[in-house]
A = this chain, B = another copy of it.
Amino acid sequence: MNVVSAIKRVPEEIKHRLTERFSDVDFTFCHGMEEAESYLAQADIFLTYGEDLTPKHLNMAEKLKWIMVLSAGMDRMPFEEIRERGILVTNVRGIHAKPMAEYAISMLLQVSRQAKVLLEQEKNHDWNRKPRMTEIGERTMVVLGTGAIAQEVARLAKAFHMETIGVSKTGTDKPHFDETYKTEQLMDVVSRGDFIVSVLPSTKETVHLLNDDHFERMKDHAVFLNMGRGDLVSTDVLLRSVRKGKVAHAVLDVFEEEPLPADHPLWEEERVTITPHLSGISPHYVPRAFDVFEDNLHAYVTGEGELINIIDLKRGY
């Protein structure tokens, strides 16, 4: 069985551990997709970040049975071709939970504690205790999404004694959420949040899910944070809402267009904080991703246990 990996800079200890544990499996670790292309013809299993996998690659990989995507955002995957070929796809859903939850708490604290103003003061050697500090504790957080990432955000929010409200397609109860609602009830729910945090993926149902009316309903002091996908809300709606003071601040890690062009008006908005899609970045990312792969490979090779994070090729997540 041949495993081909297009993942750059896999730590030697991980390579060593895998080759030791799975002695019947041949591993080829490539430095990116271009190098991997030469080995795709032999690949039974292919490891990729999924961003640059095209139908061309699928044609090259005639034997391919399983694509392990070391990412959670699957919007660039050629699902139609994959479905036709009946190739199994798994991802690392869940491993973004920790860094993304830290990102969310970090940014909400940053806004509440006026980090922008304070760092500017520091630069000017200005000892000024006037910037108004607020607490994130005991406030209400509405999370769009109730999956692994959302639950980790909610878990930390509960540690800060927040009220947590989750919104999902089914509205099913989930750990760390005090209340959960269906997406249809979103319009009523957004009005309750001091913080509105989205971790939603990009799907047919989520594209431009939030519109002017939702922002109209939000509290004026609310902070809106999007670390899911940028097409949840159109940039026009966002700019309008922030400029009209429908929310106090927007923290954006994802955008309709990425990278955000240097001349984009969002950069200049005082009440917008922009980060370059890094909420999920973590030094522990690759080790955690390979932990998921290793467990799945064991199940795949031995038939013992079940593979986790299998993607529904019709839904695309």
Give A contacts to B, CB under 8 Å.
98-99, 102-103, 105-106, 109-110, 112-113, 115-116, 118-119, 121-122, 125-129, 131-137, 155-156, 159-160, 258-260, 262-264, 267, 273-278, 281-284
Contact = CB atoms under 8 A, between A and B. Distances in A.
A155 B158 CA distance: 12
Contacts of A106: 106, 109-110, 113, 115
Given A102-B109, A110-B110, A127-B276, 15 more contacts: A98-B135, A99-B133, A102-B135, A102-B160, A109-B109, A122-B274, A125-B264, A127-B260, A129-B276, A129-B277, A133-B278, A134-B282, A135-B283, A155-B159, A156-B159
B277 A136 contact: no
A283 to B, nearest CB: 6
B122 A115 contact: no
A283 B133 contact: yes
Contacts of A102: 109, 112-113, 135-137, 160
A282 B110 CA distance: 15
A127 B258 CA distance: 9
29 contacts: A98-B135, A98-B137, A99-B135, A102-B135, A102-B137, A103-B113, A106-B106, A106-B110, A109-B110, A110-B115, A115-B115, A115-B119, A118-B276, A119-B119, A122-B267, A122-B274, A122-B275, A125-B262, A125-B263, A126-B262, A127-B259, A129-B276, A129-B277, A129-B281, A133-B278, A133-B282, A134-B283, A135-B282, A155-B159
